[in-house]
Structure 1
Amino acid sequence: MAPSPAMTNSYEISTDPGRLDAARVHHWLSTDAYWALGRSRDTQDRAIAGSLNFGAYDTVSGQQLAYARVVTDHATFAWLCDVYVAPGARGKGLGTALVTAVRDHLEPAGVRRVLLATHDAHGVYAKIGFEPLADPSLWMALLLG
């Protein structure tokens, strides 16, 4: 699938991997995201390389303001993870716009199920249509390492 941009008044959301500021993404996640604290740069770079990545960029400066990563087969299933909005850009709807762009990018490919896990942003994801699992007892996890 070709990179897709989505424009708003002050930022652009893009899947172009060449625009990602990988050092910034690593810094955000490894120092400020509860789920990725201490993640190595090598691990983050490998995660980026194996995923569909979304960046949100200021339209004037080009600076990256937010990031989201999707692990997907581009056909039936996706896992949304590493959603992060820079502190100075929070509270302005950018997180909602970013996740909406993810949804809108995946839907035409026929992806039917997008999962995520969050401790504290249920309201943000509910705005886009995410709901708690109807029957969580069906789901299992294999934790390695």
Structure 2
Amino acid sequence: MPAQQMLAEYEISADPHRLDVEVIHRFLAEDSYWARGIPRSTVQRAIENSLCFGVYHGAAQVGFARIVTDRSTFALLADVFILEAHRGKGLSKWLMRCIVEHEDLQGLRRFLLATSDAHGLYRQFGFEALGNPSRFMEIVRPDIYRSA
């Protein structure tokens, strides 16, 4: 089946009212490597304070991406996923295209993300390794959700 026909079965929306917090929480808490054990209340608060994109197959949410942004100078891409049964159809590339073309994310001075395994995907959309990593500092609490 051609990619366009397969993608015709799907939709991407930035409408926050369509997001299925249960699907998002289940994936992040159980299947992600970066947020395992995250409380539902934390996911809900993160969604409420971010620009979010949902990927839908009919009425069912099958993918997600969250952008923490001031919609002016800075953005951080986080929590990107496509449920396993829907992978391999070009949905992550389509999702990334929708994100980088979104009107609220134009003209940003800095757009960051962190990934352990999807560098090839993000490079296709202009992301590169930090040009000067010595300028960046962080506080990392990798087990914060497990100790809560």
- Alignment TM class, shorter chain as reference: 0.7 to 0.9
**Corresponding residue pairs, total:** 136
Residue pairs, 1:55-134, within 5 angstroms = 55-58=54-57, 61-106=58-103, 109-134=106-131
Q: The residue matched to 2:33 in structure 1 has which SS?
A: coil
> Does 2:8 align with 1:9?
yes
Alpha carbons of 1:70 and 1:106: their partners in 2 closer, same or farther (altered >3 Å)? farther
CA RMSD of aligned residues (A): 1.6
| C-alpha separation in 2, matches of 1:81 and 1:143 | 15
Q: The residue matched to 1:128 in structure 2 has which SS?
A: coil
> Does 2:19 align with 1:20?
yes
Gaps of 5+ in 2: 1-6
Deviation at 1:131, TM superposition (A): 0.8
Deviation at 1:107, TM superposition (A): 6.4
**Partner in structure 1 of residue 53 of structure 2:** 54
Contact 2:72 2:105 in 1 (8 A): no
- 1:98 alignment partner AA: L
Deviation at 1:11, TM superposition (A): 1.3
Deviation at 1:96, TM superposition (A): 1.3
Q: The residue matched to 1:48 in structure 2 has which SS?
A: helix
Q: The residue matched to 1:36 in structure 2 has which SS?
A: coil
Q: Which of the pair has the greater relative contact order for Cα pairs under 8 Å at 6+ separation?
A: 2
Deviation at 1:117, TM superposition (A): 0.3
Q: Provide the identity percentage.
A: 47
**Partner in structure 2 of residue 44 of structure 1:** 43
Over residues 86-127 of structure 1, what are the superposed CA-to-partner deviations in whole Å (9 max), with x where a residue is unaligned? 001111111111111111115664223210000000011111
Gaps of 5+ in 1: 1-7
- 1:140 alignment partner AA: M
Over residues 28-65 of structure 1, what are the superposed CA-to-partner deviations in whole Å (9 max), with x where a residue is unaligned? 1100000010000011111111111100112xx22111
Give the TM-score taking structure 2 as reference length: 0.86
| C-alpha separation in 2, matches of 1:10 and 1:114 | 30
